[in-house]
Structure 1
């Protein structure tokens, strides 16, 4: 379990560094068709449905790859 937590931490740090130094790589995330965005003068509501579905599929594939 400790090894998986270390690997997950390293991956999160790598993604964080990429998002900090190369934000253009992640501009598409959250702006896909199907993501709900409602903006008015006083409030903003954002529901990234399609982005979370894609993220879930990618993470499922990665986890199943490592389990085998």
Structure 2
């Protein structure tokens, strides 16, 4: 029981470190991550008084990344 709890705490610590590092680096390069939301395939429609933005490619990419992370977690914590 304590072994799986230890793995979870290590994983959350690594994720916090990773996201903290991204936030620190994003602040140095202009306040936001340059590739998130500006990928080819993201839909942007601008008219005079109307702007519509749908980050289609960004959504698909984030979905794939989260799916991979959850697959890895299920592989790590699978009961044999």
1:37 aligns to what SS in structure 2? strand
- Give 5+ residue unaligned stretches, structure 1: none
Aligned partner (choices 15, 18, 21) of residue 14 of structure 1? 21
Bigger CA radius of gyration: 2
Unaligned runs of 5+ in 2: none
TM-score normalised by L of structure 1: 0.65
Cα offsets for 1:16-45 (capped at 9, x unmatched): 22211134x932322222211011222211
Match among 49, 52, 58 for residue 51 of structure 1: 58
RMSD, aligned α-carbons: 2.7
1:63 aligns with 2:73: no
Match of 2:44 among 37, 42, 62: 37
TM-score in terms of structure 2 length: 0.58
Number of aligned residue pairs: give it: 67
